[in-house]
Amino acid sequence: MITVEQLLFSQGFGTRRECAGLVAQGHVRIDGTVVGDPGHRVRPDRLEFDVDGVTWTYRAKALVMLHKPVGYECSQKPSAWPSVMLLLPPPLRRRGLQPVGRLDQDTTGLLLLTDDGALLHRLTSPKHHVPKVYEVQTARPVEPRQMQHLLAGVVLDDDPRPVAAAGCEATGELSLRLTLVQGKYHQVKRMVAAVGNHVIGLHRSAFGALTLPPDLAPGQWRWIDDPDSITG
């Protein structure tokens, strides 16, 4: 059992004093009833509560999927573009969610964010080989030899060991689908450049067993309740 004040604090609704104020001022409902006592005790597991008319469910750890649009950086302290964190509601931003890997500002698609450090490590560690699928638009026609080279492995300037795609297929004259299990800086762009082509558009369509839902518009997000669904 925890107090309603503790509940709100754990879910990112502000400092303890701010959370107590939300309760005391009648902004919080549980089971449709206004709770005015910050010390009122509840069982948090899967508890649904309303704050200013918005329904939330208690989650000890937060994991969300975001459809990242163009023009946002995957950083809490961006340098040139706004942070993807601005696309999340304030309670999630206050919880300190971190992107699970990064997408460049001009790359769109599936981005996971979590405040679960162990999960973050598991999903980004090279040891676990979690595949990511990218839809690539190219400047020049995709040639069979380029795809063969990507599957065989190319050498990037920061590592003498070849880096190979786990999967590669042409999806059009100027497009291909690339599956990677590594997470190197600008990896897709650098690999495609290494085989003599150039990326002009990049979209991540899948992360592990998760695919980007067609009804999740750019800039929208949703909860992922089962972390194990990512790795199948």
CA of residue 6 relative to chain centroid, distance = 27
| Pick among 2.40.30.170, 3.30.70.1560, 2.170.260.10, 3.30.365.10: CATH of 131-207 | 3.30.70.1560
Handedness of CA 220, 226, 231, 232 (dihedral sign): negative
Active site includes 104? yes
Show me where the domains of the chain are located.
2-57, 63-125+210-231, 131-207
What is the reported pLDDT for 66?
97
Which one of the listed residues 45, 50, 104, 228 is annotated catalytic?
104
Averaged pLDDT of the chain: 93
In this prediction, residues 98-112 reach a mean pLDDT of 94
- Tell me, what DSSP letter sits at residue 30? E
What is the reported pLDDT for 59?
95
Say which residues have a Cβ less than 8 Å from residue 95's Cβ, sequence separation at least 6: 11, 12, 62, 115
Same fold for the domain at 63-125+210-231 and the one at 131-207? Answer: yes
What is the reported pLDDT for 129?
85
In this prediction, residues 54-58 reach a mean pLDDT of 95
Domain 63-125+210-231 has CATH 3.30.70.580: yes
Classify domain 2-57 by CATH architecture: Roll (3.10)
What is the reported pLDDT for 76?
78
What the block records as the tokens of 129 is 């080989």
Q: Is 110 helix (H, G, I), strand (E, B) or coil?
A: strand
What is the reported pLDDT for 190?
94
What confidence category does residue 125 fall into, taking pLDDT thresholds of 50, 70 and 90? Answer: confident
Quickly tell me which residue has 């990112």 as its tokens: 12
